[in-house]
Structure 1
Amino acid sequence: MPTTRSPQRLVVLVSGSGTNLQALLDACADPSYGATVVAVGADRDGIEGLARADRAGIPTFVRKVGQFSSRDDWDHALADSVAAFEPDLVVSAGFMKLVGEDFLGRFAGRIVNTHPALSPSFPGMHGPADALAYGVKVTGATLFVVDGGVDTGPIVAQVAVPVEDDDDTEELHERIKVAERQMLVENVGRMAREGFTITDRKVRFGA
């Protein structure tokens, strides 16, 4: 996807505290970063992620699954809400819902998400715990372009995090989160400034 305008427009989706969102907001404050957050969406009310957006003067919207008669209706409404802000890139930053076919179809190749493991290992909700239980010596985080699977999309970037002998899940996950935030900010910036292409699952920077 070549860059067509600068700064690139980001819509960020959150479900919780919004630490990844805050890292992106801080990065976007520098004009040389090449991107700006134009809206923040969530699947629940009263979360710190929305408060961070409010403090930054960024428009927000909430689309709860329970407000709709079906998951497809929710997916369609979420896609409409995101599309209204004309994003170049949609960033799932701790968003705890899987989007559906309508959303994926409208923003194909323009949605990125992070996973707290080195994909394709340990997909799903418990990546750090699964890595620890398996006994790996190195885990990490993955930034990928979202497709119809669970943590299966083309990989944009990965960062390794060593597993210490005395780690518990919480300690390991916290170290992964720090590396994950840095990876997210660095590579979303590159996607915005340089553009990117996806060919045979390989993501390459540059138009």
Structure 2
Amino acid sequence: MADKVKVAVLISGRGSNMLALSEHKRKDPDRAYEIVLVASNVPEARGLVLARRLGIATWSLSHQGMKREEFDALLDSELRRRDVELVALAGYMRLLSPWFIERWQGRILNIHPSLLPLHKGLDTHKRALDAGDSEAGCSVHVVTEALDDGAVIGQARVRIRPRDTPESLAERVLAEEHKLYPVALEQYCAALREAEAG
């Protein structure tokens, strides 16, 4: 098969979606992507420890006191040094600069805990409950300059139960994220390789 798409996963916390992406790859090595780097703006992020245990290279730097574009330029330099072709945001709690998004246009994916275009931004589970929605869920989308606004490439739905709290709903949605993201990333990377093959 064609060379695997080299992916960098960006995290800020425990890295549960990064683990799901890695496990998916490990269960069937003949996948369209390979995680070559896990990067974080939080040097103490638990997910970095997890990545190292999995044998994945890591990079971290605190963004504190830095301009957004200055930090993103350092991140971009590391991604290019490792020949990264696609960036997967997995609990990366920092907005990317317009410069970075333009430089990686069509090559950044994100997983968001709502059924986009509903409930962009934060507090998605509470907002879904407050709105009286019958369903919640998660979406994988292409990142653009507008918040949570790029093309949606995959969704998973979760029925909202009468006694749900934001916490109970978040737990069930996260379980679906772990199933959805690897499949969506796999399909997107396979499509990238097909497009390149022309």
TM category, shorter: over 0.9
Judge conservation of contact 2:69–2:100 (CA < 8 Å) in 1.
Answer: no
TM-score (norm 2): 0.92
2:120 is the alignment partner of 1:123: yes
Unaligned runs of 5+ in 2: none
Match of 2:3 in 1: 6
2:14 is the alignment partner of 1:17: yes
Unaligned runs of 5+ in 1: 198-205
Judge conservation of contact 2:115–2:137 (CA < 8 Å) in 1.
Answer: yes
Match of 1:94 in 2: 91
TM-score (norm 1): 0.89
Judge conservation of contact 1:42–1:50 (CA < 8 Å) in 2.
Answer: yes
Partner-residue secondary structure (3-state), 2:13: coil
Match of 2:52 in 1: 54
Match of 1:170 in 2: 167
Partner deviation per Cα, 1:15-48 (whole Å, 9 max, x = no partner):
1111100111111122222211000100111222
Judge conservation of contact 1:110–1:145 (CA < 8 Å) in 2.
Answer: yes
Partner-residue secondary structure (3-state), 2:64: helix
Residue 29 of structure 2 aligns with an amino acid whose one-letter code is: P
Alpha-carbon shift at residue 9 of structure 1 (Å) = 0.6
Alpha-carbon shift at residue 67 of structure 1 (Å) = 4.9
Match of 1:190 in 2: 187
Partner deviation per Cα, 1:63-87 (whole Å, 9 max, x = no partner):
321152x222112222222222222
The structure 1 segments of at least 4 consecutive aligned residues displaced by more than 3 Å after TM superposition are: none
Q: Work out which of the residue numbers 78, 81, 106 in structure 1 matches 2:78.
A: 81
Judge conservation of contact 1:8–1:88 (CA < 8 Å) in 2.
Answer: yes
Match of 1:200 in 2: none
Compute the RMSD of aligned alpha carbons: 2.0
Residue 99 of structure 1 aligns with an amino acid whose one-letter code is: L
Partner-residue secondary structure (3-state), 1:66: coil
In structure 2, relative to structure 1, the CA distance for the partners of 1:130 and 1:190 (3 Å cut) is same
Judge conservation of contact 1:112–1:146 (CA < 8 Å) in 2.
Answer: yes
Residue 181 of structure 2 aligns with an amino acid whose one-letter code is: L
Aligned residues: 196
Counting aligned pairs with the same residue, the percent is 28
State how far apart, in whole Å, the 2-side matches of 1:194 and 1:154 are: 15
